[in-house]
Each structure stands twice: as structure tokens, then as C-alpha cells.
Structure 1
């Protein structure tokens, strides 16, 4: 039976047209499919993937193995059904075969190499010849979790199935979907009355609506609870209008909700609003009223204050809020879900959305409900969950994800859940009493109550700090919340840092992640096995290097430090034993545990609060305290502290205050609405105070900005020092031309200087740590293979020289100049600085003539290379060199490309650095060291023929043990002896070594020269089409991608140095130390050999990048 079926949806009416070409003997039909599967049917791997059902409606079994399935009728052979397993592909008469369309061929079962497009496309089944069409369907846009299928099976009519039947007979179904309702006025804020019209594009549909929060029509078929819409609805006060369109035999539209807010109503919200219960909740009975005293005090601004931040409106049946099983008032219902409409309205930028979802109460140590004393605060937290059904199976009418970007500082745009956080402690409606707040100058003669210090910013601020320090915590923003049209107060809408959160930021599937909350026994997802293994290691002690290495197999240590520092800074005393999340990607063999801040309430209370003594078994404070037994961790922790507590870091007085100011700006005016709603809530309980923005919130704000932040950094740093967590040796300070400057732009030839109170400063300019981790305490044995004053043969070439000059054989250097004796250096000095290092002066031969010299140093080795485990080239150089051992290159600096007899350095080398030995590890070339005659050859290069100086002086050593040098100092480190001339961008890292004590690391990046001003991207090849005349389809996408390149040009008038210039979006590449002349081009390529084979070898190539450019475009 050969059929071509086209399905088109016009205004959600299902219209079917059928074409029947020549008949075919295969009695097979594409019988049902689902192109948007989010929670309906799982494949054998547990994933919700697209699927296609093939039905054998004939009288004999048919093996479809070898046939073809496609989502492109012009490409019939896109995927062949496997023909090697008849048991899996044979369909007996009247039965069905299910194929997953998920592009996951590696999975067990039948998985096609394509996915279905929910926006509409085509499906075709072709016979084994790859040409004969058996059946096809062209389908329109699909609805999530609703399948399309024939009814009856193999018939000509198609229906929608809200209960899909993969691999089974199709039953019932709907003729179509009723089009969504449309409202003439959008949700939002209004000042004057208006009429709303409601419409649907589906002919014959009836619209029902409600004004009390209840659903207008029940999908279960019981009598509708709403009114039939037959005339425009008058809106003259705050109203939450809900509507649905229904038609017999059709799937009803979803329930649409529009909340219209009249602020004149809101600010006069009464003590007992109509329709809301007059009892049953609250510490002293229900509290609904907007305090007239506060409203009057802010009469000139309060309506603007109510629109200063976005608004969130929650609407559902009143009984679901406050009825006999209402989730707001009955603790027995904590953790249970109800169906709710959630609307987001931002009056400042016009953005909005509405989504139907599930909602439950939020809070409590057990995770499902609120605190044991429910009415410690009358204002409670909630958690919307985006899913198609509640936990007890009630359809929500909504999707499985909220696709919206509410947090500007987060890249995440899709959410499974969010939290509406009322904040329990240190808020105006909190009735839990006092806590240790230290002192406040405006309070005397009574305790300081928690509402006294309300800010509504503290918890999110700690999350902000963790994110600013490089960790991962929940992002959030404040909103005004309405429940069924009543203003409910100021809430923090934020992420929940669970396994879904982790998958959003780190990749992978949410179910792959282990997730714990508060302790190792509260498993949110996955398992606690590896966490408990980690705790066992912690309890055994972490002082030794082996123990420290073991813990790093479980814990992301750098991320962990970014997590604990914020809690010590804010003095969180309600943390460690609870109030944390931890996640780990169990699907990644190298997955590590990360901690995420959660529920910070008691923090930034007492200026002198010291939380460093907390040591809670099973929690992050215990882990941290055991880690502090280890010297490597202590210094790593100190490095993080220095990064954030100094040099305008995030936790300097200015940095912390600026970060906090972001949250203050968010709620500065919004707290007026909170004050009117909840500021009088605790009158008569213990604080006979009506809390308001002025003066209460402002007083605490000013104390934090004027007292807490200016002093807290030093206080916490001293706490760290007193516990031995931070060294007493001060880190060095960087200056440019004598003035303090920690990184940033610098001009060519600026002087970088470093100062320290005591000890020696060691630094690097290549991003490496000047300190050697875990230096060996065993004495090393070393052999000098080439001494600095070794006999040398030297040539300044004036003509071509055989390439054998780098080798021990096939070359005679008898005619070359000789250098004998100390000091042993080769070069010249037209001013002062290098004379003490030079034995052979080359000024007459090089200055104004050639920037290249060749040096040959022959030596004999009679030992056994098996006795060595390292080899080090120690070299002083100005400006560049390439070193060879027996003809094999072992090291180079400041030169790119293929050298020639007259090559110049690609960058200069500062004189103050050039005179210091740079220790270069060349252990990888030990096998090139032979028994008997050997040759160290060096190609020395100057930056120009008119450079004022040149220096090349080298040693080659090998040995057993650790590389030689000052104990604990990296071989690449340089001792600071004076200012460093900046001639290229540099990543500077420095420490002070005083006795045996290292300071914390000071690090900064200096961008030298007008690189940003003069470097431009001038050409991009991001989607290569063909090469060598070969059509792209014959070569494959991977082959085409390797031809990508990016060209950059120096458009400025002078030479610039590209050192450390980086691509970070889309591709990863950091330019080496290379100079680009005015007007000169340079390219970064995806594959060098393929690029050169197509474009030739004369193009200036900086190197190969990792990653791929997006063919669809990117930034």
C-alpha cells in the first residue's frame, strides 16, 4: 500500500489530504508518532525521545530490516533499519514496531539517526531498494506530549492522542486542538477601567471564564465552573481573569490567565478582602492589609515603588491556598503540589510571560515544608515547578520547562523549578526574637530584634559573592508577589542549586548528578556513596601530600575555596551543619563534588562575628578544617584570599560594598511596598514597632555601607591569620612607573616594579607560579653537560649555511670564530649592562648588518642517560633563541615560524630579565643525548639589526631528583632585582620568600601597547564550502570545519605585540609572544596542515585554535 499523507494544521484545525500513488505489496503504515516528547514515553535508556510507530496491517509477518526511514523525502536512504537482527525488526501481522528518532545510534534498540522537528516536517518509509515509497506523512507543528496517529489503525484519518499508545492500538483521540484564547488587553498595570474581549480562532468553540481564581472548565469533563463568555468583561479594579475555549471532541485550549493590577486598589488593600478567609492562619490571625500609616507616609511615591521591580502574580483556586487542604495554611500539605498560573510582569522593560505549572510550599530542614513553628513568620516561601503533571498526577496544562531569562547575570534560559523566597530571619514579619547582632548605635536600652536589621538582601548577596569568586551559586532577583490579586510582599525569585541547576551550568543530564542538601543523608538525587567516601578520607586526616591528592579525586578544591570564603566573610554562624547543597556529575568518571550556598539568614549581623571555629562533622566546615592540616591547601586558600581581599578584589571594602550595592539598588524603593504589607506584622508580639524604609531599613543599610564593609575585610583577614590560614609574610605589591597599578593597560617601555616588606621576591612572566609545589627534600645529583664558559664556535652568516650546522656530523666549523673561557656569553653591548657576561663581541659583524648569529657548542658525554630524570637548559638571552640538541629543536623563545640566516626576533626581551638565567625544562629530549660526541647548537636572534645589544649565554645540565635552584623556587622563576621594562603583554605572578615561608600569590595581567585599539578581525572563514574542487557533501562536515580560520590585522601605525591576546567565545586560542607590524596580517587556524595545503605556506600563522566556529553565526 503506497500512500502519501499530508497533514496541515490551520488555526489548529486538523485537515488531511491523501494521495495514493501506485500500490505496493508492503502492508505497512506510519501509524503514530511523537515529535515533542518531554514526559510521555521513555526509551530503553530512560530518555524522553521522539518516536515513530510502524504498523503491519496485513496478514503476514514483515521484516522491515533493510528498509529506510527518513525525515527528508528527498533523501530516502537517510537511515537504514538494521537488517542483522530479524527478531528485532520483524513485525507480525496486526502488530507494531517502535523506532526512536533521537539521533542516538550508539544506544541499545532501534534509534534512527535523526530527530523529528516539532515545528513540522515529513516522515517517509522506503522499501529496501531505497527508492520505492511505502508510506509518508507531512505533518504540522506538534504539541508536547501529544502524539499524532491514524484512527482507526492504518486508516486515512488522523487524530491527536493525549494518551499516546506506542506499539499498541490507537484508541479514541481528538479531532483537533482548540486554538488558544486571545485577550484584547494584556496583563499589567492599569489606572482606568476598560472592557476585555476574549476570542478563539476555532469555529464552534465556547469560552468559559472566571474571576475568582478557579479553573473555568475541568478537563475531567465535570460541569464547568466558569461563566460562558458572551460579552466583553468589565475590568475596573485589580482582577485575575482566567479563560479556556472548549469544543466537543477536541482538546480544550490551555487555561489562560491575565492579571490586571490597579495600584489604587492595591495600596488600599483591606484588613479582610472579599473571598479570603477571616481566620485559620497567621500568628495572630490573617494579615492582609496594606498599612494606611505607611501608605500615607509614602503617598507621593508608593505607586511608583510598587513598579520599581518586576511583579509576579500567582493565581489558583482559593481552596488550594486557604481551604481545608490549602497549602498555605496547613503544614500537613507541605511538599504537596497544586496547579497554579504564574505571570511575570516587568513594568520597566515590558517583558512578561505566563505559564501554568505546579507549586508547593518551600522551606524547612527536611526540604518539603516550612519551619516547625509555622507562624514564626506569616509570610511563607513557595516553589513553582514546571511540569506537565503534579506529583499526584493532576495535569498542569503547562510545559516541562520555563523558557525565559530572568537573571541578567546568568546564561541559563531554561528552568525546571525556581524558588519564591520570603526570607525567614532578619525580616519584618519574622517573629523569632533576637540574635547576636553586636551593637547598633541607634538602638539602646532593649535587645536588637531580627526585624531591626531587615535588608532582604543578605542571602542573595552571599550567593552573589560565591559567583563573583568563581564559584556557582543561585542567581536571583527581587519581585513583588501577588496571590490571587492580593499584594503579598517582596520576594526573592532565585534558582534552586540542585541536580538540575548543576546540569544547566556544567552540562550533561540532570539525572546524571548526585545531589545532597544539608547533610549526606538527605539525598535529593542520585547517591551519597562517593560523598561518604570523601568524608571517610577527611576524617582520616589530610596533612600528607598523598591524603591531599586523594581528596582531590572527590572534591573540586578551587571551587570549594570559592564556596567557604564568602561564609567566613559574612560571619555565617548558621551554616556548616546545614544550609548547603552539593552536586557531582556521577556520569563523569572524573566528576567532582561542588558546594553551593543555600539559605543564608544569620550573616552580616555582628561586625566581629568569627565563623572560622565552626567544625561540623559531615559538612563543609569539617572538610575545610581537615584540609587546613595540609600546607599546600593552606597556601592555595591564602592565594584565593589575596586575590579577593586585595587590589580591588571582590571582598575589598570597595569591592564588597559595590557588589552589595547592586542588591540595594534592586530593593531600595521596593521595600516601601514590603513595609506597607508586613512592617506592622510584629506589633504586639515583642517589637512594638512599625518598621518602614525610613528610618529602619536605611539605618541598617547605612551601617553596613559605613561600618561593616569598610572594616570587615581587615577583621576577617586577621581571623584567618590568627588561625594560621594566611601567612604573616606580605605578598609583593606591583607598581607601574612608581605608582601602584595592579594589572591593566601599560605602555611599551613602562617600568614594572615590585615592593615587599621583607624577604626576596620571585616572579614569572609566563603565568606560571614562581613557587615549586612539593619541592623534593632529597638531594639532587646533577651533571653539567655544557658549562656557561664552554668552548664555542660562532658565525654571523652572510650567505646560506647548510642545515647540518645544528648537527654533530656532516659539518665543518673550523672557519668559524671561537669563544674560549669565562664568562662565556656571545653578543655585544653599545651601552652598559651586558659587558660582564660577554666573551665574544659581535658588534662589528652584527650591528646594522644581521640580527642572526649561529653558535655551536660541542661536548662529550660518557655516562648513562638512564641515570638522569631531568635535563635543564639555563639561558640568558636578548632577544630570542632557538636551541638544538644534536639537530633536534629542544627550546625556543620569542621567535615563531621557520628560521632563516637573517631572521629577527619576533619580540624583544627586557634587559633586566635577559641577564637572569631562565631555567627551561628539556627533560623530554633526554633520549636525544647520546654517548660520546654531542652538540648544543643555538640560533641567536636580535629584535633588529640596529638593536643596542645582544646576549646569548647558556648552560645545559642533567641530573637525578628535582631540578636545581633555590629550594622551593620554580625553575622558571626569576629573582626580582629591579624594575622590568614592559615590551609585551604579560601575566605576572609573584611571591615573597622570607626564610622558609612563602607569601600568598600576587598576580596581574598587563596589556602592553595599543593592541585593543589597533588589532581588528578582518576575515573569518566559519563555514567552508569546498576545497580542491571536491563537493562539500562528499567530504563531510568535519573535513570542511578543519578549513576554518580567523584573520587579524594591525590597522595602527606601529608594531604591536599580541602576547596573551585571546579568543574566548566559540573557540579557544591565546596568541604567543609575536609581533605584528603596521598593516601586517596574521591568522589563527583550525588545522594548520589543511590550511597550508589550500592557501600555501607563506601566510603568517599564529597557531591552531581548539573548538569550532558556529556555522549559524555567533559573537
Structure 2
């Protein structure tokens, strides 16, 4: 069925007409949230009058079949702002009183009331429509029986995305269940988290939508709507309510991304359930096997994924093996090396530092995700999850001694027996805590920028839930009589963080690390200027305690200290500034006269050069079912290009390894899945990007570290672009490397099945028959010279209320 009035916010009464392409079809509709069927619903005979919040659900049936249900939700600002308690809905949610009202003290406040419309328009909206029985029934309703788990408690819904500011809308049929841990309990939280499911039994098996922007995938089989529990206005303790920000968990995941590791992307949205405003939710990905396969390659079946030690996908065989190895004596070099064979060390240590800097008090007995691809040399990755109990009461929070058996801290504690681990840990502390994302200004700026994104919606959240513990389910421990929480309370907590946490946390934590033996007593070397793109001949100086030791440095990316503590034979004692004549990876450590080594200070210096000759020449964006995605780049210039500092920044993400040199006339091939690519073409790609090329077309861009875009193309899957490249096994090929890549006329579908990665553009064979050989010139050398001294690990950073254990929303669902 087709509706003639767009869904979303309306400014007045409308008459909604419904049609179908088949004039013989019978249309039935409902406005009571139930799904229409061939036997249920009102036969459509005339336009439907709508003047208040209404969800119209329609179906078209012929004698042969019925269409999927189509739902349109119509919203009115007056109804949302004036939302009261519907007489037809339950007055109790289990053993807790129900709460539907938008508090009139907020909506009628001279300041906040005047901003209410802009608050509701300031974020996009998700409208969920679900049968009232499935949601509210005392015995079978998922919101009333919120602690129930398993597939029996999944329900069919309609989901609509309404983003008027960007003229975006979609409607999809999906599944949903209540999610969370302690927050499922009605007396603890009235605002439950929800998990969205995209399965064939409900509608499409994947949702295709660009929610999260550059670097994020656009295809999902599940998404999470986090209601926020710890450090929120609905929490049952006043200490948590006073710390409400709704930013902490999203900030943690974005910070892990900024540290150079995969993590779940997210954003905020208003949520409506059957036309009722339900508050601000954090919409984000879930780092399960579907997530890792999309970002790190393979299929869902290729991955083991754990939620707090329990498998969401696969099994625990490899995890148990990692624990077995870690439980051996890690001071032994052989045992230590064996453990690192299964552990991505940079990811693991950075994950720990993230939770330690935040002072996470609800971790790691729960609230962690990890995943590993089922390959012989694969390693475990860790992902931030449910970081709500962070940045709370005291800047002196110290969780460094956490030790939970079977969890990440057990592995960490065991590895601390090895001095190489402790120094590597110090290196990562210096990189991120002293110089990177956790440096005082950087941490504060990133947090406040994120808070600014949420700011437009926080007034609406205050109206919906800010009075809950005062007016609905009173907190008897709050001797003040309860508070009506407002945006000013939200601002006050930000001021506390800006004055008490961000300025001091670095120094406090470094001291804690030193006491724990994870950071040397000697200070690292300062280098100036900091790493950047410089003119050839620039000088880099070093500052250190020259009276008590020596600064040893290398310029080839190797460590000036050898394992065990000796000075590397390639290291030089600093005596005069280092001259930068080309790409230089500087690494420097201070060695005290007593033999103690500092954390490493490293930096990548590049020299100015134009990248005009760098061209995107081939795009395999939608291979056939068994094919591998890839991108091909070509150097059309007269001399070599040092790609250090360049990245794919749109569509998909990839940071070129340091010292990647592309000779004149040479190719680089990047694939989504290196294993799959090598299986198809017989040679490995030069790199593996994260994300997935959009089958419908998107922008691909290459930028330097300053954000200057040197090459970009926006391809499409329909005319005037070659449509044969859309799903039939052929790639998009640029006819000539000097052609304008923005002109579709300069592109062709490859003449050979599988395209020609790492080789010149294919030509029409004599007679016009396409070559179906899928080897695609697999003996071709792609010519990209990646210096073996470049950093080989997967790190691409190219940088109190104590009721947490019982009260945290741990989201331990495994279904």
C-alpha cells in the first residue's frame, strides 16, 4: 500500500489516502496498533482523518497473496508536549507504577517550555508500533514482563525513522525485545533498553541505512536502543541521578574508535512507542559476530563473540585456550609469546586503559565484549560496552587492582608478571593518557562536543523522566523530598567534570600506574615540534634529563631498546636535532643511569608532497554472491608517492601503513576481506579496509592527516554509471588513469568476471566475448612497497556511588 501523506510531524489535520498498484486488491487498515490481516482491520473506502498522534497500519490483499504491512505514524507537537496518562493503558508495570506523562512543570516552564519544540526537532525520531497485547498484556506483554528472556519474548514491530531536518524517512518491519540487566527490573528502571532485530521472519533480513556516517557500515541485522540506567535521572539512587549525563557510554565507544580500534558506532534519537513519547535513546551497534564480520571480514559463522564471557555467537573454545595460556607463568618468555599469539596486544591494553581512565566501577565482572575470527593465527579483540558507571564521584577512582577470574582483568594480571608487557603498557599510557585522547584538553573537548550533540534533546528527556523519582516511584532515601531534574542539573554535572575530573585525571592516573608498576618513575622524552608534515630539512629537538641519563632514538620505526633492556644497535644517542628529509618514524626512550627505561615517545614526520597522481581506478562494490569487494589505486605520476598519513575517510576506512610507497605506474589493492580476496584472486591484497562499500553507491575519498582530500569519487549503481557492475561479478574500471573520475562516462564495467585488481583496465576481447576467468591476472604484482619496519600491530591510531555491581544495566542478553 502507498500513503499519500508523508509520515512524521504534521501541522494540522490531514486526510490520509491509501492506494495500491493492483486495483483489484482489498486494502485493510488499523489505527489500534494491531497488524491488519485479510480478516482483521477496517476495509479502506475513503481517506482516513488524522488530527492527533496516530499510527495507521495497512495491508493490501489479492486472492493470491497479501502484501507486507505498511505503517505510517503521524505526530503532532501539541499531543507530544501535552502527553498525559492514557486511560486505556495499564496503571502498573508489574510491581511499579506506570509513567506516561510529560511533566507540565517542564513543558509549561517559561524557559524550557519555549524550547520544547526545538528539543523535539533537534534529534531524529524512531517511531515503534507494536500490538498493544504484545507490549502491555500483564502475562505476555514484553514491557510488563520485562525480565523475561529468549526468543519467546521477541515481538514483531514496525520501525520508522523520521528525520525531518535531513528529509530522511524509512519504515521497516522488524522484531524487538527488551534488553539490559538490572534495568529490566521495573522498580529499578521504568525506561527499558530495547534491541531491534532484522530477520526474515519479521521483514528484511538486514536493514540498509546510513545511520552513523563515514567509517561505519550501512547494513545491520541488529541495533540497540539504550535507555540509559546508571548515571541517569530514573536511577533508584540519588547519587546516580545527580551524575546524569547520558553521554558516558557513547563517549567511551567513540574514544575507543579514536584510539585506533573498532568499536560500536552510535547516535541519539527520540523514541515513540505507539505514538507516545518515550524519551531520548542512544541508538548504537552491538559488537557481535554480525558486527565483526562487517568491519573485520568473514561471515558471522567465522567468528566467536562473547558478552561478558558468554557466547553470543560461536563458542568459548578459543577463549578457554587463551585463558589456559594466560594462566601459565607469564614471566617465562615462551609462555608470554604463546599468550600473545591469541591476543591483539595493542587493542587489549588500550581497552584496559580506557576503562581505567574512566574509573569504570561496573566492569569487568560483566559489561565487556570480545571477538575472535576462527582462523589459526587470529587474535582476540575487545570492545567497550555499557560504560555508564564512569567519570563519577571521585577523580581518584582506582580500579587497577580489579581481578575477576575468567575476565579480561585475569589476563592482564597474569601478563603483568612480564617486564616487556609492563613497558608496552607504559608506552600505550604515554601515547593515550599523556599525549592523546585522554590528555586533559583533548578528553574534555571530545566529551563536551558529544554533549553538545545531545543538548537539543535533553529538555524533552527531562520532561518525560525527570520527575520519576519525585512524583511516580519515590526514592525514600532522598531526604530532600526528591528533585525534578532539568537541563540545568545536566549542565551542573558537566561543570563538575570540567573542574574536578578532566583537568586532574591524567596526573592522578599516572601516579596510580606508577604505584602499580605499570609506568616507570623516569619521565619520557619530549620531542618538538610534535609529529606533523614538515618542509624538508626541518629540525626535531628533544627534551630530557640529560644529567641523569641518555635519550636513545631511531628513525626507522624500530625500538631503541631491545627486549631484555639492551640498547639497540640501530639506536643513536641524542646529541643534536634530527634533520627530517623524508618520511621519518622517530622513536625515542630515555635510559636512566640506573638502567631504567622510560616509555617510548614516537612520532611520524612527513614531508610536503602533492598527491595529484593518486587515482582510484577500480571499484568492486557489489560482487556476485561468492566474490570479494576491493578498491584499486594507481600512481599516474612520474615519481613515487609516500602514502604515509593518507587514509580512506569516507565510505570505508583504511589508514595506509607508515612508509607505504607507491611507485610511478604502480597499483595498490585494498580489500574488505583479505582471506576471501586471496581465495578468489590467488594473491593477497595490500591492505584490508573496514566497513563495506555501499551496493547502491557512495562517496570514496582519500585524505591526508590534515583532512585535505586528494582523491574522491562518488559512484552510483544506476545510469549513467555502468549498471553491469552492480552485482553481476564485474567491477567498475576507470578507462584511463588521467580521466576525470567524477564523470560516469569515463568508467566501464570490467570485461572480465571479477575485474582486474592490480592490473591495467580490461579491454574488449576480439569478438566481443567477455572473459569469464575469475583469476583476474592473479600473477600481477601490485607493486606497493610497505616497509617491513612499519608498525605491524593492528593499532591504527594514526591516538562515589558504589552500588554499581548490583545496579548496572549489563545488557547480558545472548539471544
Q: Out of 359, 384, 387, which is 1:597 matched to?
A: 384
- The answer (yes or no) to whether the contact 2:253–2:265 under 8 Å persists in 1 is yes
Where does residue 719 of structure 1 map in the other structure? 512
How do residues 544-555 of structure 1 correspond to structure 2 at under 5 angstroms? 544-555=332-343
Aligned partner of 1:744 among 507, 532, 539: 532
Deviations 1:154-191 (A, max 9, x none): xxxxxxxxxxxxxxxxxxxxxxxxxxx11111111122
Instruction: Name which of 21, 40, 44 aligns with 1:229.
Output: 44
Quote the residue 2:450 is aligned against: 663
1:212 matched residue in structure 2: 32
- Aligned partner of 1:999 in structure 2 is 598
The farther-off stretch of 452-461 and 1015-1024 is 1015-1024
Alignment of 1:944-1093 (within 5 A): 968-994=566-592, 995-1008=594-607, 1010-1011=608-609, 1014-1017=610-613, 1022=618, 1045-1048=634-637, 1061=644, 1065=648, 1082-1085=664-667
SS at match of 1:326: coil
Q: How far, CA to CA, are the matches of 1:205 and 1:693 in structure 2? A: 51
Q: Secondary structure of the residue that 1:623 maps to in structure 2?
A: helix
Does residue 571 in structure 1 map to residue 359 in structure 2?
A: yes
**Contact 2:554 2:588 (C-alpha < 8 Å) held by counterparts:** yes
Which whole-Å deviations, capped at 9, do the CAs of 1:44-79 have from their partners, x for residues lacking one? xxxxxxxxxxxxxxxxxxxxxxxxxxxxxxxxxxxx
Between the aligned partners of 2:390 and 2:91, the Cα distance in structure 1 is 36
Please state whether the residue corresponding to 1:992 is helix, strand or coil.
Answer: strand
Separation in 2, partners of 1:1112, 1:375: 60
Aligned to 1:927: none
Name the counterpart of 1:620: 408
Partners of 1:1003 and 1:1071 lie apart in 2 by 13
SS at structure 1 position matched to 2:143 = coil
1:500 aligned onto 2:283: no
- Aligned residue pair count: 655
Residue 621 of structure 1: how far off its partner (Å): 1.1
SS in 2 for 1:493: strand
**CA, structure 1 residues 705+350, in 2 after alignment: closer, same or farther (shift >3 Å)?**
farther
Q: Shift in Å at residue 319 of structure 1?
A: 0.8
Q: 1:639 to 1:500 in 2, by over 3 A?
A: same
Is 1:528 matched with 2:316?
yes
Superposed CA offset, 1:1056-1107 (max 9, x none): x965646655999779699x9xxxx9433469xxxxxxxxxxxxxxxx9936
- Higher radius of gyration, 1 or 2: 1
Structure with greater proportional strand content: 1
Q: Which has the higher contact order (CA 8 A, sep 6+)?
A: 2
**Where does residue 220 of structure 2 map in the other structure?**
415
Shift of the 1107–598 alpha-carbon distance from structure 1 to 2, 3 Å rule, reads closer
**1-structure distance, mates of 2:235, 2:631:** 62
Paired residues of 2:25 and 2:62 also in contact (CA < 8 A): yes
Task: State the distance in 1 between where 2:636 and 2:146 align.
Answer: 64
Structure 1 residues 362-402: Cα deviation after superposition (integer angstroms, max 9, x where no partner)? 0128xxxx54x43201111111110022xxxxxx2x11111
Q: Which residue of 1 aligns with 2:328?
A: 540
Which residue is equivalent to 1:320? 134
- Give the CA deviation at 1:306: 0.8
Gap runs ≥5 in structure 2:
621-626, 670-683, 689-699, 701-730, 735-740, 743-815
RMSD: 2.9
Q: Which residue of 2 aligns with 1:650?
A: 437
> CA 1:969–1:1060 in structure 2 vs 1: closer, same or farther (change >3 Å)?
farther
Task: Give the Cα–Cα distance (whole angstroms) in 1 for the partners of residues 98 and 420 of structure 2.
Answer: 57
- 1:210 deviates by 1.0
Q: In the superposition, relative to structure 1, how do residues 1044 and 1017 fare at CA in structure 2: closer, same or farther (>3 Å)?
A: closer
Residues 294 and 692 of structure 1 are in contact (CA less than 8 Å); yes or no, is this contact kept in structure 2? Answer: no
- Aligned residue in 1 for 2:119: 305
Query: How far apart are residue 744 of structure 1 and its match?
Result: 1.1
Q: Spell out, residue by residue over 1:954-977, the C-alpha distance to the aligned partner (whole angstroms, 9 max, x if none).
A: xxxxxxxxxxxxxx2222222111
**Using a 3 Å threshold, how does the CA distance of structure 1 residues 651 and 280 change in structure 2: closer, same or farther?**
closer
In the alignment, which of 561, 586, 592 is matched to residue 771 of structure 1? 561
C-alpha distance 1018-504 of structure 1, shift in aligned 2 (>3 A): closer
The answer for the alignment partner of 2:8 in structure 1 is 188
Residue in 2 aligned with 1:517?
A: 307
- Are the aligned partners of 2:616 and 2:632 in contact in 1 as well (CA < 8 Å)? no
Match of 1:358 in 2: 175
Distance 1:330 1:1072, change over 3 A: closer
Partner in structure 2 of residue 52 of structure 1? none
Distance change (3 Å), C-alpha of 1:239 and 1:1073: closer
Cα deviation for residue 422 of structure 1 reads 0.8
| Matched residue, 2:692 | none
CA contact (8 A) 2:614 2:633 kept: no
Structure 1 length normalisation: TM-score?
0.56
> Conserved in 2, the CA contact under 8 Å of 1:984 and 1:1073?
no
Give the deviation of 1:291 after TM superposition: 0.2
Residue 485 of structure 2 corresponds to: 692
The structure 2 residue matched to 1:382, chosen from 182, 186, 194, is 194
Q: Which residue of 2 aligns with 1:275?
A: 88
1:641 is matched with which residue: 387, 406, 429?
A: 429
Q: Match for residue 462 of structure 2?
A: 675
Matching of residues 882-893 of structure 1 within 5 Å: none
CA contact (8 A) 1:986 1:1060 kept: no
Tell me the distance in 1 between the aligned counterparts of 2:605 and 2:21: 63
Matching residue of 2:257: 467
Instruction: Using the TM superposition, name which of 725-734 and 534-543 deviates more.
Output: 534-543
The counterpart of 1:452, out of the listed 236, 242, 248, is 242
Q: Per-residue deviation at 1:711?
A: 0.9
The partner residue of 2:210 within 393, 405, 414 is 405
Q: Say which is worse superposed, 656-665 or 292-301, in terms of deviation.
A: 656-665
CA contact (8 A) 1:1068 1:1106 kept: no
Change in CA separation of 1:1064 and 1:659 when aligned onto 2, cut-off 3 Å: closer
**Structure 1 Cα separation of the partners of residues 549 and 482 of structure 2:** 57
Residues 709-752 of structure 1, C-alpha deviations (whole Å, 9 max, x = no match): 111111111111111101111111112xxxxx211132233221
**Corresponding residue of 2:17:** 197
Q: Following TM superposition, by how much is the alpha carbon of 1:1020 offset from its aligned partner in structure 2, in angstroms?
A: 7.0
State the 1:301 CA deviation.
0.8
Are residue 1106 (structure 1) and residue 694 (structure 2) matched? Answer: no
Match of 1:779 in 2: none
Tell me the distance in 2 between the aligned counterparts of 1:1042 and 1:492: 33
1:518-561 deviation per Cα after TM superposition (whole angstroms, max 9, x unaligned)? 23xx2222221221222122223311211110111222111101
- Say which SS state the counterpart of residue 86 (structure 2) adopts: coil
Match in the other structure for 2:62: 247
8 A Cα contact 2:462 2:487, kept in partner: no
Residue 1023 to residue 679, structure 1, CA distance change in 2 (3 Å):
closer
Q: What is the CA distance between 1:1021 and its match in structure 2?
A: 6.0
Give how far 1:1019 is off: 6.7
- Where do 5+ consecutive residues of structure 1 fail to align? 1-180, 390-395, 434-447, 736-740, 776-967, 1025-1036, 1051-1056, 1088-1103
